[in-house]
A and B are shown apart, each in its own frame.
Chain A
Amino acid sequence: MPFKKIISNFKKRFKTLLNYMGGAIILLLETIFWSFIPPFRRRQLFDQMYKIGVNSLPIVFLIAFFTGMVLALQSAYQMQRINAQMYIASLVALSMTRELGPVLTALVVAGRVGAAITAEVGTMKVTEQIDALETLATNPVKYLVVPRFLALIFMLPLLTVYADFVGMLGGYIVGVFKLHIGSNMYMNMTTSPLDLKDLYTGLLKSVIFAVIIAIISCYEGFRTSGGAEGVGRSTTLSVVTSFVLIIAADCLFTALFYFIGR
């Protein structure tokens, strides 16, 4: 019976999904637990912060800068019709801090850093380096996941703030040099509608995104099996899963803040 087959197939998939979620949540709890257990690996944490944060600066700059410019140009198209160009600055500032800054940065970092983490951990898994860690009486979660997790939680919000400013700079350049809004006027219209709340809701989101990227990319790494092909597969899965979860979490939290904020 095809209907029965559909049901059993659905059950199987649902079970796999539950399994995956359970595994990821257990990894998250273990990571939080081990984050508070000494010894703290400061050197590894700084290494990861450098790799994740500092090395992401150029690409985050490019993405945020262009996005800021595009935002200004696209809104100019609308605003010019109703002769309200000066609101372009506010629009760019608000969209960057509340939405595009956190989300774009998270997506860029998921693609750049998340993929690298999965590939590294996955390779360690298939070459038995994870097993070797255990035989050397070292917990792989403590040794591998905790520094990456903490580094992402520190660096992603910082990168987000940076992206917010770079985005506004992009908007400023278009606004002042192309649309001929006065420089002072532009800056005024950027800062006046901005509330501290706009900034910290964005930052709160970016912390959530950091957790998603760290846990999914490490979890996919640990699940890897089957040599080089397996590493490729789990890296793809890790990036795709992170992307979907980031957007879903963004939707959820934006809705939440919207209803709370009223």
Chain B
Amino acid sequence: MIDAINLHKSFSGNKVLKGLNLTIETGVTEVVIGRSGCGKSVLLKNIIGILKPESGQVVIDGQDVTKLSGKDLKALRMQFGMLFQGSALFDSLTVTENVGFNLIEHTDMDKQTILKRVKEALSLVGLYGIEDLMPSELSGGMKKRVGLARAICMHPKIVLYDEPTTGLDPIMADAVNDLIMTLHKKLGVTSIIVTHDMVSAYKIASKIAMLYDGKIIAEGSPDEIKNTTDPVVKQFITGAAKGPITQKENFNRNILTEGA
């Protein structure tokens, strides 16, 4: 179970998370939706401990991530896989070295075993025969899938996805959705997906949470979210340009300009 308790995080005075609470049960696929720049990626990075919150805790199976360091943090990270928005493949390494990074760095497996594991991970994401290519030779969709293969190569218990479908064409986006669902079924992992792609959210989520103004303002099954009466959530999921979210932003902007 992952428990984020009262998280606060700001960047140079700009408060991004303002007392966020979120509980994610083991084995579910939780989708966090919200506008660009509302702090979704920051939430993920707090969960995996790349960023430390100013206050609050992230408790994973009884361990407080914010207090871990050194070996404990390393051990915890080995249970995680993360897919980054831009894939974040190491561009000086080949596909094999990227996917097998953890195996090469942190285990004493021999080359043959590593290659086997890499091929296995790549076949899970539907890629064959690209082991020796460099990331610059891959298309955007392929990079995403290699990134995903890297995330699952160590057989993690928790996989974090930072906007897995952003920047892909609709067909490739749906293929990635299918992939996330297949992996979930095959590996039985807990998945946390951050996205603003509602099609994808409805398709893969067992639960959807909406992040707005630094807090989770609504949480429920895809159907519950679809039939929400909350005007903020409704504006976001229907993608309307006018509504409480934009009203508040305009209001804030007016105050700022008047103040200056």
Contact = CB atoms under 8 A, between A and B. Distances in A.
B101 A136 contact: yes
A124 B87 CA distance: 12
Contacts of A134: 48, 50, 77
A30 interface: no
A34 to B, nearest CB: 12
Contacts of B86: 127-128
A132 interface: yes
B50 A137 contact: no
Contacts of B74: 137
A137 B88 contact: no
B106 A135 contact: no
A199 to B, nearest CB: 36
A136 B105 contact: yes
A188 interface: no
Contact of A137 (B45, B78, B89): B78
A50 B91 CA distance: 19
Contact of A135 (B77, B85, B105): B77
Interface string A114-146: 000000000010011101111111100000000
A92 B90 CA distance: 46
A136 B84 contact: no
Given A131-B45, A131-B50, A137 B84 contact: no
Contact of A127 (B48, B81, B88): B88
Interface in A88-132: 124, 127-129, 131-132
Contacts of B84: 128, 131-132
Interface of A is mostly: helix
Nearest to A129: B88
Interface string B77-99: 11011101110111100000000
Given A128-B85, A129-B88, A131-B88, A136 B77 contact: yes
B197 to A, nearest CB: 19
B105 A129 contact: no
Nearest to B79: A137
A129 B93 CA distance: 12
A129 B87 CA distance: 9
B88 A128 contact: yes
B26 interface: no
B91 to A, nearest CB: 8
Residue of B80, B85, B88 with most partner-chain A CB within 10 A: B88
Nearest to A39: B105
B90 A132 contact: yes
Residue of A124, A131, A132, A133 with most partner-chain B CB within 10 A: A132
A132 B160 CA distance: 12
Interface in B119-151: 150
B6 interface: no
Given A128-B84, A131-B84, A138 B50 contact: no
Nearest to A142: B105
Interface in B45-90: 45, 48, 50, 74, 77-78, 80-82, 84-86, 88-90
B102 interface: yes
A135 B90 contact: no
B50 A129 contact: no
A136 B106 CA distance: 9
Nearest to A135: B82
Contacts of A138: 101, 105-106
Contacts of A127: 86, 88
A129 B80 CA distance: 16
B45 A129 contact: no
A127 B135 CA distance: 13
A131 B74 CA distance: 14
Contacts of A131: 45, 50, 84, 88
5 nearest CB pairs, A to B? A132-B88, A137-B77, A128-B88, A135-B82, A137-B74
13 contacts: A128-B85, A129-B88, A131-B50, A132-B90, A135-B48, A135-B80, A135-B82, A136-B102, A137-B74, A137-B102, A137-B106, A138-B101, A138-B106
Given A124-B90, A127-B88, A134-B48, 20 more contacts: A127-B86, A128-B85, A128-B86, A129-B88, A129-B90, A132-B82, A132-B88, A134-B50, A134-B77, A135-B48, A135-B50, A135-B77, A135-B81, A135-B82, A136-B77, A136-B101, A137-B77, A137-B78, A137-B102, A137-B106
Interface of B: 45, 48, 50, 74, 77-78, 80-82, 84-86, 88-91, 101-102, 105-106, 150
